[in-house]
Amino acid sequence: MEENAAMAAPKGMKMPRPSEEAKAAFARIVPDEPAITIKPMFGQMSAFVNGNMFCGIYGEELMVRLSADEIAKVKKQGGRDFEPMPGHKMGGYVVVPGDWRATPPTALIKRALEETRKMPAKKPKK
């Protein structure tokens, strides 16, 4: 797996690296269907449908794309905004609370997939 050095973190900032166990666990919880692709992104792993990311891992944490209402519900259960850099919230995504490897949040991943599938497909970059 080759990482894109051009997309590294800003100088002085260390990006968390997912463990091999986290990568394997992530691959197991992502639905297995032809429209879904899993690929590395910024040294992490992310799952895409129609070219749009619907979930991923950042270090050892799992984040999902949901509607604002659903994000609010997840935050009430202990989730938090996804901020890959402090002060830079990535809108539409929430970090899933708890041990996602021990108790896979299958329903949240399914909802993230449903929400993201509604988005227009991204055109591949040339």
* Diameter of the chain measured on Cα atoms: 41
Q: Which domains does the chain have, with CATH numbers?
A: 16-117 (3.30.1460)
pTM score over 0.75: yes
Q: Report d(CA 44, CA 5) in Å as an integer.
A: 13
Q: Would strands 61-65 and 52-58 be described as parallel, antiparallel, or unpaired?
A: antiparallel
Of 8-22, 57-71, 91-105, 112-126, least confident by mean pLDDT is 8-22
User: What confidence tens digit (pLDDT) does each residue in 44-89 have?
Assistant: 999 999 999 999 999 999 999 999 999 999 999 999 999 988 888 9
Residue 6 has pLDDT above 50, yes or no: no
